[in-house]
Chains A and B, each alone.
Chain A
Amino acid sequence: MQQSDFLHVVMPFKDKLFRLAKRLLVSKEEAEDATQEVLLKLWSKNKLMNSYNNVEAYAMMMTKNFCLDRLKSKQAGHLKLVHTNYEDNNISPQRQMEVGDSLAWIEKIMDDLPDQQKLVLQLRDVEQYEYEEISDLLEMKPGAVRVALSRARKTVREKLMQKHKHGIV
């Protein structure tokens, strides 16, 4: 497989990999590094790529595993700590102008969810994956996917309501 062919294959889902990585790692820079690493790994195996029947699913799985490993490693724990110190600066002014800080608040709520719920919510509500795809990707039973998704959505709703009630908006 040539470079151009590879880029052609990877192009449609590289942003999905990045968004998944960012959901887990939170920091944009770390997510960029992770995405780059995953894509380079994929490129190094490009001979095998024709044998994967779903390169996107495979790449998503690689990204998920890579990011979870990063989170587990002490180094990432340290980076994450540093990162949360200035989390609030991450919200681009453009986004704030567009929709106010409700969206930033949701981001915060999602950051507090357990990794599995984060993943499910990201894959379903941002990327619109089917339940079967999610259950394959996360190696979860379809029922467990639905439970996690429902729980995640309800948590977001609940915390959002709390905020509205306190009139912080």
Chain B
Amino acid sequence: MELYNIEKLLEKYFEATATVAEEEMLRSFFLQKNIPEHLQQYAPMFQYFAVEKEERFTKDLPLKPKRKFVKWVSVAAVAVLVAAINITVPKSTALESEYTQEEIASAQEAFKLLAYNFNKGTKQLGYLEEFQKTTDKFLIKE
């Protein structure tokens, strides 16, 4: 009776229509010692699967604790730095608020005058180039 059942279950097993529970019955049948001769050929399969299930993962798992505060420390450092710069560097206020229009206009005129006179000075320096030319002539002759 039981053997008949086992043969039926084997058939279902190979057609992949057996349930997990039925397959469990087969497994326990084939893992015992006295298996009838004609069924012995199937035993290694079930033994193999049983042995395979014993395999264990033994490698360490280097889990690092999450150091979230490190991230926030850098954010805080940047914030502190920005604040410090804001405090130490005085705000550059706009010119218009510190001086009157006339003062600005006269300052601009003074700068223009200065620039004009500087340019006049550099024009005079242009004559120096002539010296260069004349010495060049001598140099070529030599």
Residues of A within 8 A of B (CB): 3, 6-7, 14-15, 17-19, 22, 32, 35-36, 39-40, 43, 95, 98-99, 102-103, 105-107, 122, 124-128, 130, 145-147, 149-150, 153-154, 156-157, 160-161, 164
Contacts and interface: CB of A to CB of B under 8 A. Distances in A.
B14 A103 contact: no
Contacts of A22: 55
Give the interface size bracket for B toward A.
20 to 34
B57 A14 contact: yes
Contact of B14 (A18, A35, A99, A153): A153
A33 to B, nearest CB: 8
Interface string B112-128: 00000000000000000
A100 to B, nearest CB: 8
Contact of A147 (B16, B41, B49): B16
A35 B59 contact: yes
30 contacts: A7-B61, A14-B57, A15-B56, A17-B57, A18-B56, A19-B55, A32-B57, A35-B57, A35-B59, A40-B62, A43-B61, A98-B51, A102-B44, A102-B47, A102-B48, A103-B47, A103-B51, A122-B52, A126-B52, A128-B20, A146-B16, A147-B16, A149-B16, A150-B16, A153-B14, A157-B14, A160-B41, A160-B44, A160-B45, A164-B41
B15 interface: yes
Q: Is the interface of B mostly helix, strand, loop or mixed?
A: helix
A36 B51 contact: no
Interface of B: 13-17, 20, 23-24, 41-42, 44-45, 47-49, 51-53, 55-59, 61-63, 65
Given A40-B61, A125-B23, A161-B41, A99 B47 contact: yes
B42 A157 contact: yes
Contacts of A146: 16-17
B20 A130 contact: yes
A149 B96 CA distance: 86
A127 B27 CA distance: 12
**Which residue among B13, B14, B45, B58 has the maximum number of chain A CB atoms within 10 Å of its CB?**
B45
Contacts of B51: 95, 98-99, 103
B57 A15 contact: yes
